[in-house]
Chains A and B, each alone.
Chain A
Amino acid sequence: MEYLTMEYRPLLAILGPTVASLLIVLTGNRPNLRESWTLLGGLFLFATVISISPFVLKEGPIGLSLFKLLPGVDFAFKADAFGLIFATTSSSLWILVSLYSIGYMRSLKEHAQTRYYFSFAVALVGAIGIAFSANLVTMFVFYEILTISTYPLVAHEESPEAISAGHKYLAYLLTSGLFFLVGILVTYLAVGTTEFQPQGILKTALGSTSKLTLQIVFFCFLIGFAKAAWMPLHAWLPSAMVAPTPVSALLHAVAVVKAGVFGIIRIVCYIYGIDVMQSLGLGLALACVAAFTILVANLYAIGQNNLKRMLAYSTINQLSFIILGVALLSPMAVTGAMIHIPFHGFMKITLFLCAGAITAIAGKRDISDMKGIGRILPVTMLAFIIGAFGMAGAPPLAGFISKWHISLGAIQSGQMVFLLVILIGSLLDVIYFFPVIRTAFFGKIPENQVIKGDLEEKVDLYSEQPRSIEARRPLYLFMVVPLSITAIFSILLCLFPRMFYIYDLALAAVENIFGGM
């Protein structure tokens, strides 16, 4: 490994999707070439990120300062253990979702595909930039890039519903961005810097700034991370489900929302620090917000008929598991929170990709329409079951490992009431997935089943011939193969959590955060 160029790898990682996005725009009228830029960019990004991880585990974070933005604030990158977890998640899943997008967009003959792929690539620039930011201001730059680049993706359909969902999206996220900015300004005024340090930078401010100010600023930051969809700032996420499914899958299950929780963990551990959080009592406050969201989101999910909306509420619920993990302020809990970022990402993407495949291949969006679909799309629905059990935290799915850690962390920090919240939340997870599974596998396919894309084709329940239509067209395989891969990974990550260095990175990060505690 050339250590000489290792210093610049974070910058290379960001340049990868940037160059890809420009190439996508320039080759807009040659679709196959255009799609190849996305895939090449994704592979390049993933390779770069994976190559950084062993180095960082051995030698510590890679810092790279580009230029001075403001007095005391540089435009700087730092690839540390925690940032690498997020970067690994986003980059690995981008490749799979891009493959899936090709199948999805082309089988539905979607419009404006260049704008779609371009915005996707720029969104990844935002996500990786957030992962590798060394300070709050740099993170703010990429945060806004992420919000703005995902707007055309949310409003992609250009129907009145999509455009109003886009406006709602912007209203929530850009307004919250302003609260983030206020938090940054007050932090800057208090300590003169906005760098991320593992033990926090606000310890010195405890003497000079009032406790109330620091608590209010924490809430400004929390509102600023409305991307984490904690209640009551969650409403943009279910509305954003009007976007095409690959968008919902990558962005609203992985990149955008995980950027939100990533930011919250950065604020808790790298700006405030565990000591300050405990002395200000903010851990308990944050845990209450998270607990509320977990329970209420699950309750909302139970009644949903639209599959993607149900998955949206499930996402809101799972994100708050991550927030709860951090809020418990104990090593096991924070480890669990950090590894839930990739684990939940893989599982949730499986679920969304299945929902999208159901829409693209069979034309169904509502659960009540999906009677017997398990026979027509067996691989898809099997993957769906895997994802659903992962949500509940059942072994041998990855969700089990992270929830186990968070639960142990709750016991470790002595806050047993949150252990109860975790258990109830997991139970509720099973409850709302159950109708989907039952309808899909045990429902009777209606007599005159018309499958979209293969018009007026009847599926005869009693026929002897194979009924699965997943392999009927090669384009469908572009969708089914990625979702199978993510489902298999959801199981593999449970058996081998050190894959992609994820568990090691989390342990390293937690060790730094908790220092000598």
Chain B
Amino acid sequence: MIQQLPVIIVVFPLLLSFFIFMAGWWNKKLCFPLAVFALAGCVLSSVAILVNVINQGPIHYWLGGWPPPWGIEYLVDHLNALMLVLVSSLSLLVAISTKRNVEAELPEKIPSFWSLYVLLITGLLGITVTGDMFNLFVLLEVASLAAYALIAMGEKHATYASFRYIVIGTIGASWYLLGIGYLYIVTGSLNMINLSQILPDLYQSKAVMVGFAFILLGVCIKMALFPLHVWLPDAYTRAPSAVSAAIAPLMTKVMAYVLIRVLFTVFKPEYSIQNLHATDILSWIGTIAILFGGIMALSQSDFKKMLCYIMVAEIGYIVGGIGIANATALKGAIFHIINDAIMVACLFLVASMVMYKTKGHQISNFKGIFRKMPYSAAIFTVGALAVIGVPPTCGFFSKWYLLLGGIQANHWAFVIALLIATLINVALFFRIFDVGLYLHAFQHEPESDGMASSPQSHEAPLIMLIPAAMIAIAIIVIGIFNQTIVNNIIKFAVPMGL
């Protein structure tokens, strides 16, 4: 059974997404439980896979029994086992937490929403678990199309933002396809492990170089690496709360995972580092992305847009860490993929709670949040401190590894950019703390001494709070026990020879 899990984790939600859509014709109330059922199944499968991989090593699954390179192989090693757990658990928690948002914002689209949501997660899980380059493209398109549709369901201008995303995203996916086309012409194989064995003899070939470049560019577009990030802010801001909370932490991080795969598994590290100096370029682009994201975030008055620019900066951390390409920095980058997904999920869930209660996601909607919605405010504080990088939240530890890796590689620009980004994040979040904490400075109502008389009446409902609180607790627990994760899983995910 364990050996079948890599394919179950994709097929199960895939089938259920169609089932949800059909069940919606009969009774709309069935859609959410079915979606939760699908995602819960994925969570259980992913945990089982991770435990198995830690104990016994990578799992190979051949679709239809066809061996590679003729058949499609699903290969799970430490890196993607961890990503699977991340994607499935975050999507489940977000789904539960944003149920009320969906009912409030999209009441007539519930069946199509949940079925597209599960389809999106199917695509993301598939990208993570597959070992075949073309299969990755197929699942990438599945996820992207679901994403385009989900985003277009949002507020005013959402359709336009989604259309921009379609155009830019399709260009990205097409370049990816073009790249693997070049590789296929030269090698005749689409399987990642197979390619990694055939390609070294062909590293001098121009076709391989062009293929590599196209693949990288395609992935970078989908990953929203500066300057190819332009689709992200509008798309994720205008999307419905539930969609932002699900896509934002996951989509770009899964593409970062794909980047690591292409750079270090399909192509050997020495190709990426020495032959093409791709990693050097990436480390500098990452540095610029960090600063760009931070500066743009400072000028935003919309909370979700500010988070989007923070995400652009965080992608800069990850890509910069990948670009520095020593063991410490790569550990930091992989750990940061996990941490960033969790932190961003936490903050977008806070945004969805604020949206539910105050019908808006501007920074001014956070007025007095510490008094009116104290639990949401506490969750927000944890997420904010994690982004800033205050120990013992997880954000501090991935920054530690990234900084250490940068100093070891003498890449001082990256180190300084990270430190400046920390300060920018302080300014960004303390701006919101000010609006949230200091009721008096902005509203002159006579406050009695002590807490407001009925804090519970303004607070978000428990179904929204509990998953968000679980994510906030995870932020702290993962921070405190980071050594367990790094030593047992991430250490093995770093390629040999670095």
A31 close to B (CB within 8 Å): yes
A residues 190-217 in Cβ contact with B at 8 Å: none
Interface bits B407-438 vs A (CB < 8 Å: 1, else 0): 11000000100010011001000100110011
| Cβ-defined contact, A152 with B404, below 8 A | no
Q: How far is the CA of A435 from the CA of B482 in the complex (A)?
A: 58
Q: How far is the CA of A184 from the CA of B191 in the complex (A)?
A: 44
Q: Given known contacts A158-B438, A159-B441, A163-B434, is B408 in contact with A29 (CB within 8 Å)?
A: no
Contact of B483 among A70, A113, A148, A175 (CB under 8 A): A70
B451 close to A (CB within 8 Å): yes
Q: A68 — which chain B residues lie within 8 A by C-beta?
A: 483
B200 close to A (CB within 8 Å): no
Binds B, one of A5-13, A46-54, A137-145, A372-380: A137-145
Q: Given known contacts A67-B481, A114-B451, is B426 in contact with A185 (CB within 8 Å)?
A: no
Q: A113 — which chain B residues lie within 8 A by C-beta?
A: 449-450
Q: Given known contacts A189-B404, A189-B408, is B438 in contact with A163 (CB within 8 Å)?
A: yes
Q: How far is the CA of A114 from the CA of B437 in the complex (A)?
A: 12
Q: Considering only CB atoms, which chain A residue lies closest to B374 in the complex?
A: A25
| Cβ-defined contact, B423 with A137, below 8 A | no
| Cβ-defined contact, A70 with B482, below 8 A | yes
| Cβ-defined contact, A140 with B451, below 8 A | no
B residues 360-404 in Cβ contact with A at 8 Å: 370, 385, 390-392, 397, 400, 403-404
Q: B201 — which chain A residues lie within 8 A by C-beta?
A: none
Q: A114 — which chain B residues lie within 8 A by C-beta?
A: 449-451
Most-contacted residue by chain B among A28, A69, A166, A167 (CB, 10 A): A69
Interface size on A, residues (CB 8 A): 41
| Cβ-defined contact, B437 with A152, below 8 A | yes
Q: Given known contacts A29-B451, A113-B449, A178-B423, is B483 in contact with A71 (CB within 8 Å)?
A: yes
A111 close to B (CB within 8 Å): yes
B185 close to A (CB within 8 Å): no
Q: Considering only CB atoms, which chain B residue lies closest to A30 in the complex?
A: B450
Interface bits B434-449 vs A (CB < 8 Å: 1, else 0): 1001101100000101
Q: How far is the CA of A372 from the CA of B404 in the complex (A)?
A: 61
Contact of A158 among B408, B422, B441, B450 (CB under 8 A): B441
Q: How far is the CA of A305 from the CA of B256 in the complex (A)?
A: 59
Q: B415 — which chain A residues lie within 8 A by C-beta?
A: 182
| Cβ-defined contact, B441 with A174, below 8 A | no
Q: B407 — which chain A residues lie within 8 A by C-beta?
A: 185-186, 189
| Cβ-defined contact, A111 with B419, below 8 A | no
B480 close to A (CB within 8 Å): yes
Q: How far is the CB of B86 from chain A (nearest CB, A)?
A: 21
| Cβ-defined contact, A28 with B483, below 8 A | no
Most-contacted residue by chain A among B385, B438, B481 (CB, 10 A): B438
Q: B422 — which chain A residues lie within 8 A by C-beta?
A: 178
A112 close to B (CB within 8 Å): yes
| Cβ-defined contact, A111 with B437, below 8 A | no
Q: How far is the CB of A136 from chain B (nearest CB, A)?
A: 12
A188 close to B (CB within 8 Å): yes
Interface bits A109-150 vs B (CB < 8 Å: 1, else 0): 011111100000000000000000000010011001000100
Contact of B419 among A144, A167, A178 (CB under 8 A): A178
| Cβ-defined contact, A175 with B404, below 8 A | no
| Cβ-defined contact, B450 with A182, below 8 A | no
Q: How far is the CA of A185 from the CA of B370 in the complex (A)?
A: 35
A235 close to B (CB within 8 Å): no
| Cβ-defined contact, A112 with B481, below 8 A | no
| Cβ-defined contact, A28 with B426, below 8 A | no
Q: A160 — which chain B residues lie within 8 A by C-beta?
A: 441
Chain B interface size, as a band, is 20 to 34
A408 close to B (CB within 8 Å): no
| Cβ-defined contact, A111 with B391, below 8 A | no
Q: How far is the CA of A91 from the CA of B475 in the complex (A)?
A: 31
A residues 24-83 in Cβ contact with B at 8 Å: 28-31, 34, 67-71, 75
Q: A110 — which chain B residues lie within 8 A by C-beta?
A: 449
Q: How far is the CB of A114 from chain B (nearest CB, A)?
A: 5
Interface bits B121-163 vs A (CB < 8 Å: 1, else 0): 0000000000000000000000000000000000000000000
Q: A75 — which chain B residues lie within 8 A by C-beta?
A: 392, 480
Interface bits B193-236 vs A (CB < 8 Å: 1, else 0): 00000000000000000000000000000000000000000000
Q: Given known contacts A115-B437, A170-B426, A178-B419, is B403 in contact with A185 (CB within 8 Å)?
A: yes
Q: How far is the CA of A67 from the CA of B482 in the complex (A)?
A: 11
Q: How far is the CA of A69 from the CA of B404 in the complex (A)?
A: 15
Q: Considering only CB atoms, which chain A residue lies closest to B370 in the complex?
A: A115
Q: Given known contacts A137-B391, A141-B391, is B404 in contact with A31 (CB within 8 Å)?
A: no
Q: How far is the CB of B73 from chain A (nearest CB, A)?
A: 35
Q: How far is the CA of A170 from the CA of B392 in the complex (A)?
A: 19
| Cβ-defined contact, B450 with A148, below 8 A | no
| Cβ-defined contact, B400 with A70, below 8 A | yes
Q: How far is the CA of A278 from the CA of B404 in the complex (A)?
A: 29
Q: B400 — which chain A residues lie within 8 A by C-beta?
A: 70, 185
Q: How far is the CB of B269 from chain A (nearest CB, A)?
A: 23
Q: Considering only CB atoms, which chain A residue lies closest to B451 in the complex?
A: A28
Q: Considering only CB atoms, which chain B residue lies closest to A152 in the complex?
A: B437
Q: How far is the CB of B296 from chain A (nearest CB, A)?
A: 21
Q: A175 — which chain B residues lie within 8 A by C-beta?
A: 423
A493 close to B (CB within 8 Å): no
Q: How far is the CB of B321 from chain A (nearest CB, A)?
A: 15
Contact of A111 among B397, B423, B440 (CB under 8 A): B440
Q: Given known contacts A112-B447, A170-B426, is B390 in contact with A144 (CB within 8 Å)?
A: yes
Q: How far is the CB of B376 from chain A (nearest CB, A)?
A: 15
Q: How far is the CA of A61 from the CA of B356 in the complex (A)?
A: 53
Q: Considering only CB atoms, which chain B residue lies closest to A170 in the complex?
A: B430
| Cβ-defined contact, A158 with B404, below 8 A | no
| Cβ-defined contact, B480 with A155, below 8 A | no
Q: B450 — which chain A residues lie within 8 A by C-beta?
A: 28-31, 34, 113-114
Q: B430 — which chain A residues lie within 8 A by C-beta?
A: 151, 167, 170
Q: A67 — which chain B residues lie within 8 A by C-beta?
A: 480-481
Q: How far is the CB of A206 from chain B (nearest CB, A)?
A: 19
| Cβ-defined contact, A188 with B391, below 8 A | no
Enumerate 18 A-B pairs (CB-CB under 8 Å) in ascending A order.
Answer: A28-B450, A31-B449, A69-B483, A70-B397, A71-B483, A75-B392, A112-B440, A114-B449, A114-B451, A141-B392, A148-B390, A151-B433, A163-B438, A178-B423, A181-B419, A185-B400, A185-B404, A188-B404
Across the A-B interface, give the 9 residue pairs with the lowest CB-CB distance, nearest first.
A28-B451, A158-B440, A28-B450, A29-B450, A141-B391, A158-B441, A158-B438, A68-B483, A178-B419
Q: Can you name 9 extra interface pairs (CB under 8 A) apart from A69-B391, A111-B449, A170-B430?
A: A31-B450, A71-B483, A75-B480, A111-B447, A114-B450, A158-B441, A163-B441, A178-B419, A178-B422
